[in-house]
Amino acid sequence: MCDPKLANHLIQFVRDYYRTNDAIPLHAPVFGQQEKDYVLDTLESTFVSSVGQYVDRLENDIAAYTRSSAAVATVNGTSALHTALQLVGVSRSDLVLTQPLTFVATCNAISYCGAEPVFIDIDRNTLGLSPSALSAWLQEHAFVDDEKTCRLSQTQQKITACVPMHTFGHPVDINGVKHICDAWRIPLVEDAAESLGSLYHGEHTGTFGAAGILSFNGNKIMTTGGGGMILCDSTFEKKARHLTTTAKVSHPYEYFHDQIGYNYRMPNLNAALGCAQLERLETFISEKRKLAEEYRQVLKGTELEFVSEPEGCRSNYWLNAVLCPSEAWQTPLLDTFNQAGIMVRPAWALIPSLPMFERCFSGRLSNSQNLVKRLINLPSSVMSCL
């Protein structure tokens, strides 16, 4: 069982930090006058759908902020990932390597391509895909054929992508993952949905592979209400724009579509909100990093272990997390906080435990299985939201 004294101490810290006795959410957005002005501008212009100056501006601003060659806006992070997987050639019956501790959207996007996820364990210090586990699984189960295609030895299926996820904003050991993917001829697609503003040795997450994606959902560090972004090079940019605009061939007035495409473009109304939010992103990150340090200090010397950013990285600390000393602590601590009007939550159920993915190939998942039973996310909004 959890220590009631420690739980109450932490509850009081959260209430004091947010200066309220009302309900405290896990993560809430922050809006100001600039957001209202930009959104009102789109309404007055009548350009509220997928054509408008704010879509172009947000793409350019995100590309500059992340130092990516190109950025293509989409309606959400899932559509961004679905498109990115198609860009690297993932298709029906293929296999895609990913991690079991992730939001279900990661594996839903793989499934939309007709492919199947393969689950590889995570590292304790990043909560993201483990390079050593990835290497061990490939050596045991895969080979590269004469055409330089990676295949599963058991079924001969192609392994056409690897999708690590930067969990809660903490950068995965992406150089380690990339080195292995390059050696095995596997395209790397980063799920950076949660890690806008996070840096791995000075470089932005989502920019190390063939493509990367961001999410601007309402609960992310900055939001467009619903939205996502594909980060890619100029080679993939044209194809990404084509796929996400119903594969319509450009013409002054005729409608002709040359392949199956998707209505995935972000509306101008959402992009306007995002442009205003992006202007405040570094302030949001600064506040969230301060909160993370406060949590770290409050928990120092206690039985709850604060999850800190990996060495050499800057995390946006999208969601702060602690690890309980044992599985027996998790449910009582969750109940205590929620009954006190403070929203905390466990991590997602491991994806292989979900009915639609339980028959997929998996490596040994000892870290994932251990950590998911002990992890709790704490309130992580910037203070000015309440």
- Distance between CA 184 and CA 300 in Å, rounded? 42
pLDDT for 212 equals 98
Distance from the Cα of residue 114 to its chain's centroid: 21
Edge-to-edge strand list for the sheet holding 305-306? 305-306, 320-323, 375-378, 345-346
Task: Give the CA distances from residue 313 to residues 78, 147, 157, in Å, rounded to whole numbers and listed in that order.
Answer: 25, 37, 35
Dihedral angle of Cα 217, 221, 224, 226, to the nearest 10 degrees: 0
- Distance between CA 241 and CA 56 in Å, rounded? 12
Contacts of 14 (CB under 8 A, 6+ apart): 24, 342, 378, 379
- Tens of pLDDT along the chain (386 residues)? 678 899 999 999 999 999 999 999 999 999 999 999 999 999 999 888 878 899 999 999 999 999 999 999 999 999 999 999 999 999 999 999 999 999 999 999 999 999 999 999 999 999 999 999 999 999 999 999 999 999 999 999 999 999 999 999 999 999 999 999 999 999 999 999 999 999 999 999 999 999 999 999 999 999 999 999 999 998 899 999 999 999 999 888 889 999 999 999 999 999 999 999 999 999 999 999 999 999 999 999 999 999 999 999 999 999 999 999 999 999 999 999 999 999 999 999 999 999 999 999 999 999 999 999 999 999 999 976 54
* Radius of gyration, CA atoms only, the chain: 21
Three-state SS for 340-374 is: CCECCEECCCCHHHCCCCCCCCECCCHHHHHHHCC
- Phi and psi at 253, nearest 5°, equal -150, -15
- Of 155, 74, 210, the residue nearest 360 (C-alpha): 155
What is the pTM assigned to this prediction?
Answer: 0.96
Do residues 306 and 322 touch, judged by C-beta distance below 8 A?
A: yes
Q: Could you give the domains of the chain?
A: 4-30+280-385 (3.90.1150.10), 33-279 (3.40.640.10)
Largest CA-CA distance found in the chain, in angstroms, rounded: 70
- Distance between CA 321 and CA 376 in Å, rounded? 6
pLDDT for 112 equals 98
| The Cα angle at residue 149 between residues 242 and 103, in degrees rounded to 5 | 60
Pairing verdict, β 189-191 and 345-346: unpaired
pLDDT for 384 equals 66
Task: Give the CA distances from residue 236 to residues 84, 87, 320, 335, in Å, rounded to whole numbers and listed in that order.
Answer: 9, 7, 34, 47
Buried b / exposed e over 177-188, threshold 16 CB at 10 Å, is bbebbeebebbb
Contacts of 238 (CB under 8 A, 6+ apart): none
Q: Where do runs of H (alpha helix) occur along the chain?
A: 4-18, 33-45, 53-66, 77-87, 104-112, 131-141, 174-183, 234-244, 268-279, 281-299, 327-339, 366-372
Task: List the structure tokens of 208.
Answer: 């190390």
**CB-CB neighbours of 81 under 10 Å:** 33
- Distance between CA 307 and CA 311 in Å, rounded? 12
Do residues 115 and 91 touch, judged by C-beta distance below 8 A?
A: yes
